[in-house]
Amino acid sequence: MDAVRQPVLNDSLAFQNIGKTFPGVNALSDISFTARPGSVHALMGENGAGKSTLLKVLGGYYQPSSGHLRIGEHEVVFRNTADSIRNGVAVIHQELQLVPEMTVAENLFLGHLPARYGIVNHRQLRQQALQLLKGLAEEIDPNVRVGRLSLGQRQLVEIAKALSRGAHVIAFDEPTSSLSARETERLMAIIARLRDEGRVVLYVSHRMEEVFHICDAVTVFKDGRHVRTFEQMSEITPDQLITCMVGRSLDDIYDYRSREKGGGCLSVSGLLGPGLQKPVSFEVCQGEILGLFGLVGAGRTELLRLLAGLERHKAGSLALKGEPLTLRSPRDAIAAGILLCPEDRKKEGIVPLASVAENINISARSSHATWNCLIHGRWEKENAEKQIRALNVKTPTPDQRIKNLSGGNQQKAILGRWLSMPMKVLLLDEPTRGIDIGAKSEIYQIIHSLAAKGIAVVVVSSDLMEIMGIADRVMVMSEGAVTGELSRTEATEEKLLELALPRTRA
Amino acid sequence: MSTQPNVLATPRRSFDSRRFLDDWAMMLAALAIFALCALFIDNFLSPLNMRGLGLAISTTGIAACTMLFCLASGHFDLSIGSVIACAGVVAAVVMREFHSVALGVTAALVMGLCVGLINGLVIAKLKINALIATLATMQIVRGLGYIFSNGKAVGVMEEQFFVFGNGQLFGVPVPIVITLVCILFFGWLLNYTTFGRNTLAIGGNEEAALLAGVHVDRTKIIIFAMHGVIGALAGVVLASRMTSGQPMIGQGFELTVISACVLGGVSLAGGIGMIRHVIAGVLILAVIENAMNLKNIDTFYQYVIRGTILLLAVVIDRLKQR
């Protein structure tokens, strides 16, 4: 019935009453919309709204429990990923499906290397790879191992791989979440080209600017349901789109309130260390939220790592409330009340297999333990419950393994860990990356309430709206140096970007 | 306070069958195997056999308690078999020279401590893979055992020394008492001290533990030092049972201990481990070995069966993670 058919450009992609149930959960119900060929169709919604599940159905990872897919006039059934690829569908996931130890060329032709008698013809392989990369990423040498490419370049290799398989429908899952501005720009140009060639492009992203820049139509999901499809972007404004997704407006989400600023808290002068090209000096006051904006690789994370004692500084000095401070390890920073919520929650933040309670209590427990070593069971239980309640961490029980929680709730648990400690300075590195808007707004509220209590907060973010939405003052970094500082009223998108973009030096 | 308006609704303590299975499955399996053996194998429950089973468990059981900490922290220790042999030799040699049981036992434990400290320092401070580090010390310590003993078993004359292996406390053989004490102590250490919880956190995510302010290096060094001392203790007990220090015993013992832990449910990747896993693993291995001996199954087949069981356990562990 669904004989494999050579995919044809200018076929539309239609989802018809797609539903997907997992035991006990309705992940998708009755999703119907059509994506036109020659257009970029955005899928938007909070995390858990069903976008990723839908892409997995499209990619053949999941079989829909009801409904079907239609490409052009033909109904298609994808029993597995191979079916999906054969029908001209490519899904570019956030975690790219490349083998880092193999070369670009080998990755491009993985599974069908040009070979005779099982011996790979390397010359032919290189040539075909160059052909594929033409017009996409000509600077990439096909003989280089994929592990040595930047994330943006890997994505382009993935796109080339999709095109080599004749992909007609290409779906991107948050493609720009870890790209630099320049890489994003290039990706946008490529997506525009794919669209103009008559392909169907699906685009999942949380970033409003991008969606309004590149997309032609948008479908909004909420709780696994199809809310609405706007066939033209002109039908809607960003504010309306957000309201459509969460039922709240932007101002409500950031919920900025001006505060009394206290005396100086953390002062940094002439700090130099790994990742910093020029000495960095600044001061944060008690009760102030300092935004740290810049592109990926600008040195912001490195600066926070220095402040958190993870790296040693080579020059310069730190002072906390006028007292000079030496940091040899994260423990020193924690003892001084400088606490870091790291950028990569999974890798550096949580202990995934441990319970939520365990993750909350890990830092504060020893100061409540008898002789610093015998665990105070009652305190641990009460503290975990207190933080879970105060921060609205959504977990069935405190004993739930934290890896089963959503990103937003994991982040709240890490905040709970630090709220159990005496805190003077809170360092947040991309605190809301990959977190849905509902949890984001809760995290902003927590940040504001901490600042209101007189804690100095430093927030690193690549999200312009977020930085402008929550910070009292924004410091901008570029190429390992501070390039400027703007107050809340001075900070505009243009000014921030201008300071953040690397200068081409003569 | 009967009228509290916004009490937190008691979280649903729904019965998490998967979690329960993770925690208790191997313990239940161990008991089931024990029950089956008791039903179908003659003499299995006889006091003599139970005593033999208890003694067979003791050496593995003692060493597995601290291996649990190594595994839970995401490492393992291959030197334990050599430490056991060397500890017996050191105790025997020192007693031969100085005729003091206390001195002999102390020397053995100090030797274990030193090996453990070296393992810990190399792994924690120099960031060298535990596989390589302990593979090296395994050979060094094995060699030292041969050197101290001139390659021959060293007999022990001191009567008091035999208490560790052959004595009884309230009718229970001392090795079993020592094993039980170790299980209770290390179970408590893992669950009720910051050290134990930090061990699991390091195994679960070392980077996160470091950022959360855990003394990562210090914890690791203590774990390995502790393992060295307890390994030496197991060696002393074994030497006492055999009334001599033998440099060639305990070859492959490290693998038996690691197998027992993993079989019981301790994760090789770190972060998951409970004392009941150790009890279950040690019990299963010992009961099956005991049953095979009672059934007169050839040693050659015993290897195949033991390997198959381990493979099965690891596959089940893998499937559980899906």
DSSP string across B296-321:
T--HHHHHHHHHHHHHHHHHHHHHHH
Shortest CA distance from A368: residue in chain B: B194
Nearest to A353 among B197, B210, B272 (CB): B272
Mean pLDDT of A56-74: 88
Shortest CA distance from A372: residue in chain B: B194
Query: What is the predicted pLDDT for the residue at B18?
Result: 67
Residue B214 lies in a domain: yes
Tell if the CB–CB gap between B201 and A348 is shorter than 8 Å: no
Query: What is the predicted pLDDT for the residue at A24?
Result: 58
Q: How many residues does chain A have?
A: 506
- CB pairs below 8 Å between A and B: how many? 86
User: Residue with structure tokens 């940040």?
Assistant: A447
**Do B156 and B243 form a contact (C-beta atoms < 8 A)?**
yes
**Do A502 and A482 form a contact (C-beta atoms < 8 A)?**
no
- Provide, rounded to the nearest whole percent, the portion of chain B with pLDDT above 90: 67
Mean pLDDT of B72-91: 95
A330: chain B residues, CB-CB within 8 Å: 210-213
**Coil/strand/helix, residue A385:** helix
* Cα B96 to Cα A131: distance, rounded to the nearest angstrom: 79
Q: List Cβ neighbours of A420 (8 Å cut-off, separation of 6 or more).
A: A360, A361, A363, A364, A383, A387
Query: What is the predicted pLDDT for the residue at B6?
Result: 36
Q: Is residue B211 within 8 angstroms of chain A, CB to CB?
A: yes
Q: Is residue A340 within 8 angstroms of chain B, CB to CB?
A: yes
How far is the CA of A447 from the CAs of A296, A391, A450, A478, in angstroms?
Answer: 23, 11, 5, 25
**Coil/strand/helix, residue B186:** helix
* Cα A443 to Cα A412: distance, rounded to the nearest angstrom: 7
pTM value is 0.74
Segment A212-263, tens digit of pLDDT? 889 999 999 887 888 889 988 888 888 788 778 776 666 677 878 888 888 8
Min Cα distance B125 → chain A (Å) is: 14
Residue B125 lies in a domain: yes
Q: Is residue B218 within 8 angstroms of chain A, CB to CB?
A: no
For helices A122-133 and A151-164, angle between their N-to-C axes, nearest 10 degrees = 100
Residue B217 lies in a domain: yes
Segment A219-233, tens digit of pLDDT? 998 878 888 899 888
Q: With 60 as the cut, is the pLDDT of residue B11 above it?
A: no
A433 dihedral zone (left: phi>0; alpha: psi -120 to 50; beta): beta
How far is the CA of A325 from the CAs of A266, A267, A332, A338, in angstroms?
Answer: 10, 10, 9, 11
Q: What are phi and psi of A42, to 5 degrees?
A: -85, 140
Specify the DSSP class assigned to residue A474: E
Q: With 90 as the cut, is the pLDDT of residue B234 above it?
A: yes
Neighbours of B39 (CB within 10 A): 9
Q: List Cβ neighbours of A398 (8 Å cut-off, separation of 6 or more).
A: A355, A356, A357, A360, A381, A384, A385, A388, B11
B59 dihedral zone (left: phi>0; alpha: psi -120 to 50; beta): alpha
Residue B97 lies in a domain: yes
Query: What domains can be seen in chain A, in order of their start residue?
Result: 13-248 (3.40.50.300), 262-337+422-499 (3.40.50.300), 348-421 (no CATH)
Which residues face A264 on adjacent strands?
A: A285
Tell if the CB–CB gap between A372 and B194 is shorter than 8 Å: yes
Q: How many helices (H) and strands (E) does chain B have?
A: 13, 4
Q: Is residue B205 within 8 angstroms of chain A, CB to CB?
A: yes
**Do A7 and A168 form a contact (C-beta atoms < 8 A)?**
yes
pLDDT band at B322 (very low <50, low <70, confident <90, very high): low
Single out the residue of B11, B68, B13, B30 nearest to residue B196, CA to CA: B68
A334: chain B residues, CB-CB within 8 Å: 212-213
Which residues face A268 on adjacent strands?
A: A282, A318
Mean pLDDT of B265-281: 90
Q: Is residue B322 within 8 angstroms of chain A, CB to CB?
A: no
Tell if the CB–CB gap between B13 and A397 is shorter than 8 Å: yes
Single out the residue of A460, A503, A459, A467 nearest to residue A487, CA to CA: A467
**Do A271 and A475 form a contact (C-beta atoms < 8 A)?**
no
How far is the CA of B82 from the CAs of A75, B90, B138, in angstroms?
Answer: 67, 12, 6
Tell if the CB–CB gap between B208 and A373 is shorter than 8 Å: no
User: Residue with structure tokens 């319970």?
Assistant: A355
**Do B63 and B80 form a contact (C-beta atoms < 8 A)?**
yes
Q: With 50 as the cut, is the pLDDT of residue A457 above it?
A: yes
Q: Which two tokens stand for residue B266?
A: 């301790």
pLDDT band at A499 (very low <50, low <70, confident <90, very high): confident
Residue type (1 letter), A460? V
**In angstroms, how far is CA B152 from the centroid of its own chain?**
27
Neighbours of A194 (CB within 10 A): 21
Single out the residue of A245, A226, A311, A326 nearest to residue A275, CA to CA: A311
Domain carrying residue B168:
47-250
Min Cα distance B224 → chain A (Å) is: 18
Strand ranges in A200-344 using DSSP code E only, listed in sequence order:
200-204, 217-222, 225-230, 264-272, 280-285, 289-293, 315-320, 323-325, 338-341
Tell if the CB–CB gap between B192 and A340 is shorter than 8 Å: no
pLDDT band at B3 (very low <50, low <70, confident <90, very high): very low
How far is the CA of A471 from the CAs of A287, A292, A326, A488, A502, in angstroms?
Answer: 11, 9, 27, 7, 23
Q: With 90 as the cut, is the pLDDT of residue A206 above it?
A: no
Mean pLDDT of B207-215: 92
Lowest mean pLDDT among A489-498, B13-22, B41-50, B194-203: B13-22
Tell if the CB–CB gap between A349 and B197 is shorter than 8 Å: no
Nearest to A362 among B11, B207, B212 (CB): B212
Single out the residue of A339, A363, A324, A323 nearest to residue A455, CA to CA: A339
* Cα B162 to Cα A218: distance, rounded to the nearest angstrom: 81
Specify the DSSP class assigned to residue A362: T
Q: Per the structure, how many domains does chain B have? A: 1
Q: Is residue B216 within 8 angstroms of chain A, CB to CB?
A: no
Tell if the CB–CB gap between B271 and A362 is shorter than 8 Å: no
**Coil/strand/helix, residue A115:** strand
**Do A498 and A475 form a contact (C-beta atoms < 8 A)?**
no
Neighbours of B14 (CB within 10 A): 8
Which residues face A28 on adjacent strands?
A: A20
Query: What is the predicted pLDDT for the residue at B13?
Result: 47
Residue B320 lies in a domain: no
Single out the residue of B267, B213, B19 nearest to residue A340, CA to CA: B213
Which residues face A485 on adjacent strands?
A: A475
Min Cα distance B185 → chain A (Å) is: 13
pLDDT band at A302 (very low <50, low <70, confident <90, very high): very high
Residue B52 lies in a domain: yes
Q: Is residue B13 within 8 angstroms of chain A, CB to CB?
A: yes
Max distance between CA atoms of chain B, in angstroms, equals 79
